[in-house]
Amino acid sequence: MVFVQMHLYTGLFITAHDAMHGTVSSNKKLNNFFGYLSVFLYAGFFYNKLYDKHHKHHYYVHTEEDPDFAPHGFWKWYFRFMLNYVTIIQLVIMAIAFNVLKIWVHEKNLLVFWILPSLLSTFQLFYFGTYLPHKGDHDNEHHASTLNKNHFIAFITCYFFGYHLEHHQKPATPWWQLYKTKA
């Protein structure tokens, strides 16, 4: 159940990501509403801050200005990645939510079915959606690689974001259509 929850948390973030590219709804207000809601429910993030950083990633991919990139090995890259996105206010929001939820939900259940899956989803998003696609040298303008064509694996690992080169080539393609861009 923890892994199912992890995958669902990842889906919340992917929904916000798609909103950042305007693919959740053609109605901009509705699109942004779902973006705000998804990242706030994911971990108390603020959509507008993530929006700016994500578009910096697309514009400055694989450079020092890219908030998603650090050529220092997995753990250093992961911690730099997290420090670029996690804020004190977000941690306060999550602490308040945890303590309020403890009124109705046993603390062990919160830890196992909320905290653990959400933390694991950060590894899932980072490993399959950032680290693997962008590590090393690439011979394309997006400095990205892609998973081999296996749609089931691509879906369960990170909602087709292992098809990362395709995402950079066609950022207006929603996650559920990325598999169609895979040659």
pLDDT, one tens digit per residue, over 42-83 is 999 999 999 999 999 999 998 889 999 988 789 999 999 999
Tally of domains within the chain: 1
What is the span of the domain harbouring residue 48? 2-181
Please give the chain's pLDDT, 183 residues, in tens. 999 999 999 999 999 999 999 999 999 999 999 999 999 999 999 999 999 999 999 999 988 899 999 887 899 999 999 999 999 999 999 999 999 999 999 999 999 999 999 999 999 999 999 999 999 888 999 999 998 878 899 999 999 988 999 999 999 999 999 989 876
H/E element, 31: helix 28-43
User: CA 165 to CA 143: how far, in whole Å?
Assistant: 8
Closest-CA residue to 9 (of 127, 128, 125, 121): 121
Closest-CA residue to 127 (of 85, 161, 168, 169): 161
Its pTM surpasses 0.85: yes
Tokens of 131: 């680290």
